A and B are shown apart, each in its own frame.
Chain A
Amino acid sequence: MAYRAPRIEDRGALAKWFEPPAIGAMAPGTKIIVYSLLAIWTLFVLFPIYWLLITSFKSAADVNNGPFFIPFVDYQPTLQAWRDLFVLDWQDTIRAYLNSMVIAVCATALCVLIGSMAAYALARITYRPNLVTILIFVAIAAGVIYTAFALGFDWRVSAAVGAALFFFLARAIGRRYKIHLGNGDILFWMISQRILPPVVVVIPVYMMFQSVGLLDTHIAIILTYAVINLPIVVWLMYDFFDSIPKDLEESAQLDGATRIMTFREIVLPLSRAGLAAVTLLVIILCWNEYLLALFLSTTEAQTMPILVSAMNAGERGILWWTMSAVIIVMIIPVIAMAAVLQKFISKGILLGAVKG
């Protein structure tokens, strides 16, 4: 049979429903399906927030006799939960709120600062760490810890002996083996730290801060959060820095700029969008983190997620109404920040850099 080009009159019923009537248009059938799915998804996403909002204005009786969906119709809203939160227990609430703010902001700042510098270095400098030297270091570090903590030697002596041994062995043995790792290996090693489930390291981290007497302090949680989120920052910012054309930096270098100047004048302004996105991501992760905060804080450094979970441990059973109010208070700053940072996460900043 000879080939015949398809003609518009020959369209079947299915094509009439699901074939776009014109280029760039949407077929009626597709439209119905897509918008129905979107509507369902919207309900699915927004309903919990709506439920939180109305629950925070319910009394204990309304919650227990419910479910009631529409305020003023199904039940009479009350400010009881909000009064509990900001009048009765205001010290706890405000403290947790401030703790969360301070910890999230400081940890994020620290993490993004260190992480972006590391990412920039990985994107622009070729490292060739010697595998054998690394293994020697790991073995000696393990030996130092073992002798100091298990065998009871003075840790200063162990550390000094270990350092001396490392430099000796690194020069004597490490240099002979030419097995080198590259930037990709370093990057993968970093992200592998994030693959590890946090619950695995919770006990060691707890013991570490216990031994230096930093439990239930801001500094302990800030340091922990900064460290656990470093891999994400390095990974994302590496990609971002890598996409900035090298020509721009070489050009700046030829124009006489130092490395620091190049970073400040060229790289930083161009990576503003990436930094904003990463900052937002890390701050949300810090803001919502529960497990580590549970172990590292008791009262003084308690954060919002801990406060929320404390609501279901009261003598009066689970305080759904207060819990809802706390959660609403907790999500407001995240939404506000996302709105502010959104402006920076604009595309096309690199447009016009290198191509005609």
Chain B
Amino acid sequence: MNVQSNISATQSAPAEQRLVSETARSLKLQGLNKHYGPFHAVKDLSLEIEPGEFLVLLGPSGCGKSTALRMIAGLEDITSGAMVIGDNDVTHVLPKYRDIAMVFQSYALYPHKTVAENIGFPLKVAGASPAERDAAVKDAASQVQMEDYLHRYPKELSGGQRQRVALARAIVRRPAIFLMDEPLSNLDAKLRSFMRAELKHMQQTLGVTTVYVTHDQIEAMTLAHRVAIMRDGVLQQLGTPTEVYDNPANKFVAGFMGSPPMNFIKGSLSGGTFTSAYGQVSLAGYADHDNVSVGFRAEETSIAGPDKGHFSGIVFSCEMTGHETIVTCEMDDGHAIVRAAKDYSIPMGAEIHLTVDPARVCVFDESSGVRIRPETA
């Protein structure tokens, strides 16, 4: 697979202005592998995360992202490869010596301890004096607006509040690396988007190095400085959300990122023209290829008149969402989704013509899914 070259192309993170905490450390993963018996869960994963960076590990369930996070945490042993935090090789080091904190999907609050005891537990274990502990607990609790709940038990809190307590327990110790395993997935939709903004704000004000695992590409797009997309244990692409969205390395990434995801039409390329059963578009600079798939995003597609469009299809549904109308067309094996103005309306079953931006479409090898780029750029 042509993955490595894509990674190196986007390896350097943008040098944007970023607050970095004194305790934040860099994290290097060098060729991490994880085998469970014959099952190869994580394959040769290499990443470099800068101090204070927010990196999101994104992928569908079972892609190895959680395993990767658990290896970083030290909850799973590393089959082969190396892992460095700051300047220390921690590949085989016990979790307690890694100086990491983790927020679990389930929050993992200790049910028999109060909020204050929960937040203070890492400090208690570390042997901090009660006075020190008290001050740190109050400080951490105030960062997540939970100072009024210190004497409650987890069972008396709502889901969002438990989430905050779990966050407070993770930040109370000022860890070198902050790990989060799908922390928002147990919240309802409204609270989730609210907590997402809170998380982003908190990560930036604290300046902690963060590795965040999710299967939700919106979380990845909104939170990350850089996104690492994984599939079947293999890193597919690493880059800023914009890079990953606009310039996907392969068909999987293109189909995974964005809501709605990229639309695809199968066909062939010859003489600088893409031809499919649903129409054609001239794509200059591409070599001839029998079996390709052309991808285009909903927002880069417009609905055209009968003779002007590149592709045509049958309307499957037309949904008004409030600020826009989403038109789904039957095309190829699947559906193509197009955005239209809110007052646009078209009956189901009508023929619809679409115009794409030839400069913005992505071409993929249909059999391998690898991105094909124009030979003359």
A352/B75 contact (C-beta < 8 A), A255-B121, A256-B126, A266-B110 known: no
One of A103-111, A130-138, A246-254 at the interface = A246-254
The answer, among A253, A266, A350, A354, for a CB contact under 8 Å with B107, is A354
Cα distance A349–B110 in the bound complex, in angstroms: 10
The reply to whether the CB of B104 lies closer than 8 angstroms to some CB of chain A is: yes
Interface-central residue, B108, B153, B159, B162, by most chain A CB under 10 Å: B108
Q: Shortest CB–CB separation between residue B76 and chain A, in angstroms?
A: 10
Interface-central residue, A255, A349, A351, by most chain B CB under 10 Å: A255
A252/B121 contact (C-beta < 8 A), A245-B106, A349-B112, A350-B111 known: yes
Cα distance A248–B118 in the bound complex, in angstroms: 11
The reply to whether the CB of A311 lies closer than 8 angstroms to some CB of chain B is: no
The reply to whether the CB of B169 lies closer than 8 angstroms to some CB of chain A is: yes
- Number of contact residues on A: which range applies? 20 to 34
The reply to whether the CB of A356 lies closer than 8 angstroms to some CB of chain B is: yes
Q: Shortest CB–CB separation between residue B171 and chain A, in angstroms?
A: 12
Residues 234-269 of A, flagged 1 when their CB comes within 8 A of B and 0 if not, give: 000000000001011011111111100100011001
Is A256's CB under 8 angstroms from B96's CB? yes
A355/B106 contact (C-beta < 8 A), A254-B95, A255-B169, A269-B112 known: yes
The reply to whether the CB of B125 lies closer than 8 angstroms to some CB of chain A is: yes
Report the nearest B residue to A247, measured CB to CB.
B108
The reply to whether the CB of A270 lies closer than 8 angstroms to some CB of chain B is: yes
Q: Shortest CB–CB separation between residue B310 and chain A, in angstroms?
A: 47
The reply to whether the CB of B290 lies closer than 8 angstroms to some CB of chain A is: no
The reply to whether the CB of B241 lies closer than 8 angstroms to some CB of chain A is: no
Q: Shortest CB–CB separation between residue B120 and chain A, in angstroms?
A: 10
Residues 327-352 of A, flagged 1 when their CB comes within 8 A of B and 0 if not, give: 00000000000000000000011111
Is B122's CB under 8 angstroms from A256's CB? yes
Residues of B within 8 A of A13 (CB): none
Is B101's CB under 8 angstroms from A254's CB? yes
The reply to whether the CB of A353 lies closer than 8 angstroms to some CB of chain B is: yes
Residues of A within 8 A of B169 (CB): 255
Residues of A within 8 A of B122 (CB): 255-256
The reply to whether the CB of B249 lies closer than 8 angstroms to some CB of chain A is: no
A247/B96 contact (C-beta < 8 A), A261-B125, A352-B156, A355-B186 known: no
Is B104's CB under 8 angstroms from A247's CB? yes
Q: Shortest CB–CB separation between residue A258 and chain B, in angstroms?
A: 8
A255/B125 contact (C-beta < 8 A), A247-B106, A352-B155, A354-B106 known: yes
The reply to whether the CB of B41 lies closer than 8 angstroms to some CB of chain A is: no
Is A251's CB under 8 angstroms from B102's CB? yes
Is A349's CB under 8 angstroms from B111's CB? yes
Residues of A within 8 A of B230 (CB): none
Cα distance A253–B75 in the bound complex, in angstroms: 9
Is A353's CB under 8 angstroms from B110's CB? yes
Is B108's CB under 8 angstroms from A354's CB? yes
Residues of B within 8 A of A256 (CB): 96, 122, 125-126
The reply to whether the CB of B277 lies closer than 8 angstroms to some CB of chain A is: no
The reply to whether the CB of B157 lies closer than 8 angstroms to some CB of chain A is: yes
Q: Which of B46-97 contact A (CB under 8 A)?
A: 73-75, 95-96
Q: Which of A45-64 contact B (CB under 8 A)?
A: none
Residues of B within 8 A of A252 (CB): 110, 121, 125
The reply to whether the CB of B267 lies closer than 8 angstroms to some CB of chain A is: no
Residues of A within 8 A of B126 (CB): 256
Is B96's CB under 8 angstroms from A254's CB? yes
A356/B162 contact (C-beta < 8 A), A251-B102, A255-B121, A256-B96 known: yes
Is B187's CB under 8 angstroms from A356's CB? yes
Q: Shortest CB–CB separation between residue A180 and chain B, in angstroms?
A: 12
Report the nearest B residue to A248, measured CB to CB.
B108
The reply to whether the CB of B109 lies closer than 8 angstroms to some CB of chain A is: yes
Report the nearest B residue to A351, measured CB to CB.
B155
Residues of A within 8 A of B163 (CB): 356
Q: Which of A246-300 contact B (CB under 8 A)?
A: 247-248, 250-258, 261, 265-266, 269-270
Given contact pairs A352-B157, A353-B109, a sample of 5 additional A-B residue pairs in the complex whose CB atoms are under 8 Å apart: A250-B102, A250-B108, A252-B121, A253-B96, A255-B101
Give 10 A-B contacts (CB < 8 Å), ordered by A residue: A248-B110, A250-B75, A253-B95, A253-B96, A352-B157, A352-B162, A354-B106, A355-B106, A356-B158, A356-B159
Q: Lowest 10 CB-CB distances: which A-B pairs, in order?
A: A352-B155, A356-B159, A354-B106, A352-B154, A247-B108, A251-B108, A255-B122, A353-B111, A256-B96, A256-B125
Binding site for A on B (CB under 8 A): 73-75, 95-96, 100-102, 104, 106-112, 121-122, 125-126, 153-159, 162-163, 169, 173, 186-187
